[in-house]
Structure 1
Amino acid sequence: MFRLAPRILTSVARLAVVRAAAPVPACVAMRAFSASVTPRMSAGTTDGELHSTLLREIKHEKEQNADVAAPEFLTEFQSLNKQWAIRDEPRNKEVALVRKFENEKITVLFNTDALDEADQLEQEELEGAEEDQDAERPLSVPVSIIIEKPATPTAGALEITATIQDGGFFIESAGFTPTSVLAHDATAEGDWTRQSKYSGPLFGNLDEGLQEQFHEFLAERGLGDELADFIPMYVEYKEQKEYQTWLENVAKFVNI
C-alpha cells in the first residue's frame, strides 16, 4: 500500500552494529592459540583472548540464528515471486531486486544502513521518552527504484526514491536521467552528475492526483504490500549474515 504523504529522511552516518557476546562463565580459562609450529606474524599478548571471545560470539550467533542459511520468509517469497531475482553479493551491504515488466527492467536497491539509522533514531527517542523503551519501532528502509527500457537505450530512466515504512512505500522523489547507465553509476562522479541535473519537483508538491498515479504505476509493477513487508526482513537477514561472516574473518585473521 502506498502513502501520499512524503517522508524525507536525513542521511545518517553508518555506525557499527553493536551486539552482546554470549556470557562467559568465570571458570572458563582463555584458550591459547600459539601451539602451531609456524611462527605467527602477530605476537600481541591480547591476541589469544580476543580470538577466544570472537569464537564464543560466533558460536552464540550460530545457535541464535540456526536458520540463517534459508529462513522461512525468504524461501516463501522466492517460491511465490519468481519474477523477482535477488542479487546479493557477499561482503557487499547493498542488495538489488530485479525483474522484467513488459519492455522494462526494474531494479530496487536497498542496503543494511537502514538498521543503523533505525538504531540511532531509537536511541535519540529513548533519551527523550523513557516510557517508550519497550515499544518496538518498525524498520524503515530507504529504497531506490530504477525503471529503464533496455531495448531503447536512449529512452533514459526513471529514478524513484522512497521509504518503506509501516508496510507501505512513501515516495519522496521521482527523477529522470537521460541514460540508464547514469542511473546505475554508483561512483562519486556519477552521483555528482546526477545531483547537478534537475531531478524534478518535491514529490509532495505535485498534485495529489498525479501522486496517486505514480503509486498506481509502481503497484502495477509489483511494488506493493508484499514487497514492502519482505524488504525490511531481508535487510535484517542480510546484516546478520554479514555480521557472522565478519566475525569469522576477523577471528581467522587474529589467529594467523
Structure 2
Amino acid sequence: MPRVTTLLRKSYKAIHDFDLLKALQSEIRHEQSSNHFQDNQSGSLGDFVLDWDSPQSQDVVLRKKCESGEEVAVSALLGPETYEGESSFPREALMKVCIKKPGLSSILQFDCGAFGKGDNGSDFAIHNAYYIPSSTCLDSSIYKGPSFSSLDPNLQDELKNYLVSKGIEGMFTNFILLHLHRKEQGQYVKWLHKLEEMVAVAPSE
C-alpha cells in the first residue's frame, strides 16, 4: 500500500509539472469562446418533434405524423469526418428514416447521410433503401431489396424527392447537423470541466 501511495504522489506531481491544469483551462476557454458553427446558420424541425435527446447520448430521435396519416421517424447521430474542403460542418450526420403508412405493418427504411455544403446549407444522400414487412420482423437474413446504387438513377431521384416531401429537406438537415455538433461540443466541454476538477484537487506533493 505505501508503494501505491508513493506512486500516486509521483503521478500527481507529474501532472502539476506538466501544467496539465493550465492546458485544460486553456482548452475550455478556447471551446467556450470559439464560434464553431456560425450564427447565420439556421435550421428548422418543421413538423417534427424531438422524441429522444438525452444529454448523455450521442443520438436523437424525431417523429412526425403527416396529414395523410403516415408516420415518419428519424434517428440520427454524427458519423465520421467528411473531409470536404467546402463543407460548413466537419462531420456528417447518419440518419435512419422510417416511414409507416396507416393500417399497414410494413415499414420503408432509408439509411441516409446529411452533410454540409459550402454555402452554409446542407443536403442529404440516400445510401440504402429497405422494405421491412413488419416492425417486429427485423431479422437481418430477410431480403430487404436491392442495393440503392443499383437502382435506376431516375428511381433514386424520385425516392429522394419522396423523402423531401416528407420533410427531409435542407432546413431539417441543417437542424440535425447543428444540433448534433453543438451537442457534441457541449459534452466535450462538460468532460473537460470534470477532468479539470479532478486535476485541481490533486495534491502537488
Report the equivalent of 1:111.
77
- Percent identity between the two aligned chains: 25
- Give the 3 Å change call, closer, same or farther, for CA 158–242 of structure 1 in structure 2: same
What secondary structure does 1:90 align onto? coil
Tell me how far 1:66 sits from its aligned partner. 10
Cα distance 1:46–1:72, how it changes in 2: closer, same or farther (>3 A)? farther
Unaligned runs of 5+ in 2: 1-7
Task: Select 1:218's aligned residue among 148, 153, 163.
Answer: 163
Matched residue SS, 1:60: helix
Is residue 2:130 matched to residue 1:160?
Answer: no
Give the structure with the higher percent helix. 1
Other-structure match for 1:58: 28
Deviations 1:189-229 (A, max 9, x none): xxxx43x3222111232234433332232121111222233
TM-score, with length taken from structure 1 = 0.58
Q: How has the CA–CA distance of structure 1 residues 201 and 92 changed in structure 2, closer, same or farther, with 3 Å as cutoff?
A: same
Instruction: Indicate which of 49, 59, 79 corresponds to 1:85.
Output: 49
1:146–1:157: 8 Å Cα contact kept in structure 2?
Answer: yes
Distance 1:66 1:110 in 2: 20
1:106, 1:148 within 8 Å by CA — same for their partners in 2?
A: yes
What are the within-5 Å matches in structure 2 for residues 111-130 of structure 1? Answer: 111-114=77-80, 117-118=81-82, 121=83
CA contact (8 A) 2:79 2:94 kept: no
Q: Would the aligned equivalents of 2:78 and 2:94 in 1 still touch at CA under 8 Å?
A: no
**1:112 and 1:238 in contact (8 A); partners too:** no
Cα drift, residue 45 of structure 1 = 1.6
Equivalent-residue separation in structure 1 for 2:31 and 2:110 (angstroms) = 36
Secondary structure of the corresponding residue to residue 45 of structure 1: helix
Change (3 A) 1:203 1:248: same
Q: Could you say what the CA RMSD is over the residues aligned between the two structures, in angstroms?
A: 3.2
Change (3 A) 1:156 1:73: same
Alignment pair present for 1:45 and 2:9? no
Q: Cα 1:52–1:215, aligned 2, differ >3 Å: closer, same or farther?
A: same
CA distance in 1, matches of 2:30, 2:94: 30
